[in-house]
Amino acid sequence: MGADDYRRYLAQEWQLFVDHPERAESAATISRHILPIRRVLDVGCGAGQELLPYLHGALCVALDLAEEACPVARQRLNQVNKNARLSFGRARAEALPIRKGQFDLVICRLVLPYTNIREVLAEAAGVLRPGGGFSVQVHSIWYYLRELRRAVARRDRRSIRHALRVLGTGARLHLLGQQPVGGPLETFITRAMLRRMSKGVGLEFVLKVRNGNPYAPHFLFRRDSVFVSSPPE
């Protein structure tokens, strides 16, 4: 995806948030379960839309690996609230440049399926304070089965191969507990597997958050206050 195409994608993601009130309702649900929320970290921020509900009361930190993302997020969020407390940076989700225990809420929207999941979960747990929340959205198996069905209908061989590869990666993760070493990491993940992997780093499942998207479920976890962390396997 070229730079211009990526900027158009960011604009579309921003507008999707604005046009769907379920997303704001999701943030309200999270705020009822995680108190207080004074510091928010958005991992893989894109256009920054996930920070909109927190702009007026919290310090918001946005990180993304894509060079184009943070300037777009900065511009759009400042247009909403020029006095917002914002910080931006480039970083891999597997290696967050953040001190431990600094945040009340970590947001990870549709980033986990493209990363080393165990490493990202461990990083998220590490930067959360005890009792802090981890808001995560992932792709379900139904998302890739739908993509496969659409690709077959179009006779799009490249998209068929991609969907089959991701389904194979997901099957390996769920049957053997392994993601590939090197190469594409993209995978689906079930709630049961996500709960097991999160528990291993001290993240307790709280609830499934309603978001109006059956293909990309949204979950909330809470950082265990007594968990002693250990390196991911």
Whether residue 207 sits in one domain with residue 146: no
Contacts of 133 (CB under 8 A, 6+ apart): 30, 33, 34, 37, 104, 105, 106, 206, 220, 221, 222, 223
Domain count, the chain: 2
Whether residue 152 sits in one domain with residue 56: no
Residue 156 lies in a domain: yes
Digit-coded pLDDT (tens) for 52-105: 999 999 999 999 999 899 999 999 999 999 999 999 999 999 999 999 999 999
Does the model's pTM come out above 0.75?
A: yes
Whether residue 162 sits in one domain with residue 58: no
Give yes or no for residue 223 having a pLDDT over 90. yes
Residue 231 lies in a domain: no
Digit-coded pLDDT (tens) for 98-135: 999 999 999 999 999 999 999 999 999 999 999 999 99
User: Which pLDDT score, from 0 to 100, does residue 232 have?
Assistant: 46
Whether residue 96 sits in one domain with residue 7: yes
Under the banding of pLDDT at 50, 70 and 90, the label for residue 6 is confident
Whether residue 146 sits in one domain with residue 54: no
Q: In 3D, which of 141, 73, 78 has the Cα closest to residue 107?
A: 73
Question: Helix 117-127 and helix 191-199: axis angle, to 10°?
Answer: 50
Give yes or no for residue 34 having a pLDDT over 70. yes
Amino acid 124 reads A
Alpha helices in 50-140 (DSSP H): 69-80, 117-127
Whether residue 89 sits in one domain with residue 49: yes
Give yes or no for residue 218 having a pLDDT over 90. yes
Whether residue 135 sits in one domain with residue 147: no
- Kindly tell me the burial class for residue 41, based on how many C-beta atoms sit within 10 Å of its own C-beta (0-12, 13-18, 19 or more): buried
- The pair phi, psi for residue 24, each rounded to 5°, is -65, -35
Amino acid 182 reads G
Range of the domain at 155: 141-188
Whether residue 155 sits in one domain with residue 134: no
Residue 101 lies in a domain: yes
